[in-house]
Amino acid sequence: MPAASARILVADDQPDVLEALRLLLKSEGYQIDTVKSPAAVLRAVEARDFALVLIDLNYARDTTSGEEGLDLLDKLQNLDANLPVVVMTAWASVEVAVEAMRRGAKDFITKPWENPRLLSIVRTQVELGSAVRAYRRLEQENQLLRGGKGAGPTLIAESVAMRPVLEMISRVGPSDANILITGENGTGKGLIARALHAVSSRSDESFISVNMGGLPEGVFESELFGHVRGAFTDAKTDRAGRFELADSGTLFMDEIGNIPLSQQAKILRTLETGEFERVGSSKTYRANVRLISATNADLQQQVAEGAFRQDLLFRLNTIHIHLPPLRERREDIELLAQFFLKAHVKRYGKSITGFESSAIEAMRGYSWPGNVRELDHAVERGCLMAQGKVIHVNDLGLNAGQATPQIEDMSIEEVEAYLIKKTLARCDGNARKAAEELGLSRSAFYRRLEKYGL
């Protein structure tokens, strides 16, 4: 955490000490809160986040034992074991220092203090505390992504059209083979990728996802391979790229057809050798990843047009899995709708129990140009719009069998979403062609798809 944004809590019962510490630490760019009692320390820590707490061990004027501070230290540890606490006292002893460290203090300062030493201790503990919190967050995020060993995402697929997909997951998931998943936008390619990771030998390792269509070419190498400090204007620290983060795990490259031709050779080299360099560095790193990629584009056609390298396609396409659009797996529509309804009812605290029969029929008859993703958003809309215990057909907003909506009755965002949806349908779900027809860059088009849930 940078000093300018780090907030420190200082506790001492002597106003002159508090003021001296406040001025000293403020001069270094820290934000300072001050309190005068152990009770006030606890209230402050419960109310907001601090990068560090600096506490006196003695508060009662007739006490020099440090017991008040040691008791406060125990309570702070119970509140947040990762919060850095530095203790200070004018009545120093080796025994008190050892006891404070044993109870979780990160360091010990005696009064009167030396400014350089105090600032050095504060700076070190703020930086270490920030690193620990970042590590904990990453650890928790990875745990959420991995799930339990062998646990995978919920796949609702009872239709005949999905049986070959389920069979392929079972057969090739446990291998390390590179897999290419194809299908229209919104068919659930990312979900299949997670299912493949969950049944693989790498399931306890990281699953790292990157949307290649959303990467501007200027940051492409940095996002995939990382960079070192000073490599470009905004590179203020070293940063690991997606290949490095996915080491020993799975890297999922969505919309692989949008890789600029100028970058494809670098991707190919890393896939062939496992080697890469961070931007701004000549040091070679290695990453052992299982690659799963996905696209809604016709890569063979792109190869014929010279827009995609054939040798890269061979490397990606060891195993090919094609996902059918939702209109070809209508047996799954009601099951998926019930699954999404359960999630949205819980999210919004609703008491909706199901769908009116006409709503079910409308969903079964609708063409779903946005596929499963569109179904999810339609159910979410229905959940929010429903006024009773069940969702009616009008709550879903499908316009199935109805006239084209009147433009003058729509907001700008609704018009844009409608135009994108119609263009995608006209282009048979090909995002590249749709973006070209709309005059949008790939990254701008994908940002809109994400924004409108298409």
pLDDT digits 0-9 by tens, 169-183: 999 999 999 999 999
pLDDT at 110: 83
Q: Indicate whether 12 and 136 sit together in one domain.
A: yes
Residue among 441, 440, 206, 192 at smallest CA distance from 323: 192
CATH number of the structural domain spanning residue 15: 3.40.50.2300
Q: Indicate whether 310 and 354 sit together in one domain.
A: no
pLDDT at 201: 92
Domain boundary among 292, 308, 324: 324
pLDDT at 65: 66
pLDDT digits (tens, 9 = 90+) for 273-326: 999 998 888 778 889 999 999 999 899 999 999 999 999 999 998 999 999 999
Q: Indicate whether 441 and 298 sit together in one domain.
A: no
**Structural domain includes residue 298:** yes
DSSP conformation letters of 14-36: -HHHHHHHHHHHHTTT-EEEEES
pLDDT digits (tens, 9 = 90+) for 109-143: 888 888 999 999 999 888 888 877 666 556 544 54
Q: Give the range of the structural domain holding residue 37, as residue numbers without chain letter.
A: 3-140
Q: Indicate whether 251 and 350 sit together in one domain.
A: no
Query: CA dist 127 to 122, 132, 308, Å?
Result: 9, 9, 45
pLDDT at 403: 42
pLDDT at 2: 46
Of all residues in the chain, the percent with pLDDT exceeding 70 is: 88
For the chain, the domain total comes to 3
Residue among 167, 159, 146, 106 at smallest CA distance from 331: 159
pLDDT at 217: 72
**Structural domain includes residue 414:** yes
CATH number of the structural domain spanning residue 256: 3.40.50.300
pLDDT at 89: 77
What pTM was computed for the model? 0.59
**Structural domain includes residue 121:** yes
pLDDT at 424: 77
d(CA 113, CA 115): 6
Low-confidence ranges of the chain (pLDDT < 70): 1-4, 60-65, 91-94, 133-153, 399-411, 414, 428, 453-454
With a CB cutoff of 8 Å and minimum separation 6, the contacts of 78 are none
d(CA 185, CA 326): 11
Q: Indicate whether 355 and 404 sit together in one domain.
A: yes
Q: Indicate whether 85 and 176 sit together in one domain.
A: no
Query: CA dist 291 to 243, 287, 307, 385, Å?
Result: 10, 11, 21, 41
**Structural domain includes residue 153:** no
Domain boundary among 273, 299, 324: 324
Q: Indicate whether 166 and 315 sit together in one domain.
A: yes
Domain boundary among 299, 324, 349: 324
